[in-house]
Structure 1
Amino acid sequence: MKIGKEDFEALIKGEKDISSYIELDTVAGTYSVFGVRTASNPNYLIKAIYEMNEAHLNKKLAVKAVRKLFRSVGLGSLGLFNLLKKSGMDLPPAEFLLLVFKLQHQQGWGAPFELVEQSDKRIVLRTKHTFESEILKDWKMPVCGVHMGWIEGVLMAVTGKTWYCLERKCVANGDDCCEFVADQVEPSWKFKAQAVVKGDSAITEFIEHKPVKGTIKLIDDPVVIMPRFVFSSMMNSLKKTMGELPAGGVNYRAYMDMGKENIEHYKKMGITEPKTLSDMAFTFYSQMGWFRLVKDEWNEEKKEKTITLDNTVESEAFGSTGKNVCYCTAGLLAGIIEGSFGIKVQAREIKCHSKGDEFCVFTISNKAE
């Protein structure tokens, strides 16, 4: 089906709707719009995608995962944008967004959008409801990951810049409409890392895994997947060479240096606030499977921090031993605190899951000069 400038102008003005350009061949099992193969909008499929991600993450991060998926879908709009330009229609980004969502709405993806605000670096859109805010009303929170991702992808495609979209209002959260604020941002390690720390993203969103090539990157940095048995193997090897306590001391020191080096890496991103640095390290190690942070307490009288962890790499690797085993984790915590706050500390494990305790508990205190 051939489509030209006059068709799009008629669509924008409301003189035509998308039904004129839909071709349904039930025998062949094809559904096309503007001659491009597409599909209908089965709500149960989108709900399943959300719930699949929720099972591995949580509701908030499931929305982010769907957002990442549909950001890629939005990038595909570049073809339509270029077609319009060839037809002599050079629409500004905000107007092109409205056209995209008008076409989507006419295929069942929600209500029409209105433009609330626009500038070179900010676009605000509003709609009565989106289809995902209707099917996920029981989530009682902002859920429009599909539309946030679409908005980001479309704007990235047509401007060549990075955009970040926030859903300011959502029908699924009890609001009277769904409202989206898209801002042009500078892509950076710092921006992505801080989003993870704040709980706005998970590190899985920034993992680039190419198993055939044997490479994994996390926010552009090469990383490796390391089995937990490496810790028990490493400790047992050192124990055979020098004894248990000296081996524990070597691991403590090695991982303390690693913790400090990690903080220095964050500082190169321009982050200087000590608590932000330590929170960032705890969040990243937790989401990478080193441990789960249960709680973090500060005793002002003793000037002592108590950190309670679950699923530490050593306690999981060694299992039940009847004694403390988390020398690497203790050193890592000490290095993170030393690097973040610029003080000398010592970390001590006072409870351990391998010893039979519910959690692994560590105290961090100032080191005597």
Structure 2
Amino acid sequence: MTIEQTLLDSKKNPPPETVQRTLQTVLKFLRTEANQTALQNRIPAAATHVRRRHNYYYDEKFFEHDPKAGIVRNVYGQRVVRVSEDFITGLLAGLEEEVGEAAGEIMYKAGYQWGLEDMASFVPRVQAEFLVQFEKMSMGMMLESWWWPLQIEGWGAWRYDFRQHKQGLIFIDLYESAVAQSLGDVGKVVCYFYAGMFAAVFSVLARRELAGIEIQCYSMGEDYCKFLISTAKRVNAAAFWRNEGATSKDILKKLSTV
């Protein structure tokens, strides 16, 4: 299954403005004559400095240090910051102290915007790396290429589930969430940033607005976190059931009725 086969007709389902801006950036790159010619000639047009190595299994291969400037970058030139679990815990605690229950919504929106921006830079990068048009890539290869840098940076390992995509349901299992493992067992879901990020990425791929929600969390004593990506109607229903105490298995059963 290629990305091209799974994309929806954006004319029939116009995406919201934020997703539309990201799509315009992505599609502009895909359609430029220079880019198409470069791909046909097997010359990376997006970034001639992109490294052609695909696997970075060690920190010293993936990160580049500049001790004099005090800067760390990954192999794609993106600046990264190493933080401790105390930093993550303090950041979220400070946000909750300032805005209360709205902290989750703020983190979700931050994750959503981050996901949109990341996809806008990822598309030209992955085309240059693999010399394949983005819409012709297999979905599995594309998604793993997007997630791998995040995994080596400490965001955790994931497993996506498309078995119910024809019903409009996508599920993601996340292992070793940086947020949940930092906070520990606090009896509630905490990975709002991830939920927003996943929602943004699949909104761009589907060319319509999707929403995301965490329906199972390591911070609730579970072995791993689980997310649902679907329409806002279904996500809102899942949020209601979750807040009423439903387990992820209960929510999965109820979704068929929405």
TM-score interval (norm. to shorter): 0.5 to 0.7
Gaps of at least 5 residues in structure 2 are 1-42, 128-133, 235-258
Aligned positions of 1:68-87 closer than 5 A: none
1:216 to 72, 75, 86: 72
Counterpart residue type for residue 351 of structure 1? Q
Deviations 1:14-35 (A, max 9, x none): xxxxxxxxxxxxxxxxxxxxxx
2:98 to 238, 241, 253: 241
Higher relative contact order (CA 8 A, sep 6+): 2
Does the residue aligned with 1:306 lie in a helix, a strand or coil? Answer: strand
TM-score using structure 1 length: 0.44
1:292 maps to 2:157: yes
Deviation at 1:317, TM superposition (A): 1.2
Maintained 8 Å contact 2:126/2:145: no
Counterpart for residue 57 of structure 2: 202
Q: In structure 2, how many angstroms separate the alpha carbons of the residues matched to 1:329 and 1:335?
A: 10
Deviation at 1:332, TM superposition (A): 1.6
Q: In structure 2, how many angstroms separate the alpha carbons of the residues matched to 1:288 and 1:265?
A: 17
Counterpart for residue 188 of structure 2: 323
Does the residue aligned with 1:309 lie in a helix, a strand or coil? Answer: strand
Q: In structure 1, how many angstroms separate the alpha carbons of the residues matched to 2:212 and 2:230?
A: 7
Does the residue aligned with 1:325 lie in a helix, a strand or coil? Answer: coil
2:110 to 237, 254, 260: 254
Q: Point out the structure with the larger helix share.
A: 2
1:269 maps to 2:125: yes
Deviations 1:114-163 (A, max 9, x none): xxxxxxxxxxxxxxxxxxxxxxxxxxxxxxxxxxxxxxxxxxxxxxxxxx
Q: Cα distance 1:249–1:190, how it changes in 2: closer, same or farther (>3 A)?
A: farther
Counterpart for residue 313 of structure 1: 178
Instruction: Work out which of the two has the higher radius of gyration on C-alpha atoms and give 1 or 2.
Output: 1
1:367 maps to 2:232: yes
Deviation at 1:254, TM superposition (A): 0.6
Aligned-residue Cα RMSD (Å) equals 2.6
Q: Point out the structure with the larger strand share.
A: 1
Does the residue aligned with 1:263 lie in a helix, a strand or coil? Answer: helix
Deviation at 1:277, TM superposition (A): 4.4
Q: How many residues align?
A: 178
TM-score using structure 2 length: 0.61
Q: In structure 2, how many angstroms separate the alpha carbons of the residues matched to 1:365 and 1:190?
A: 35
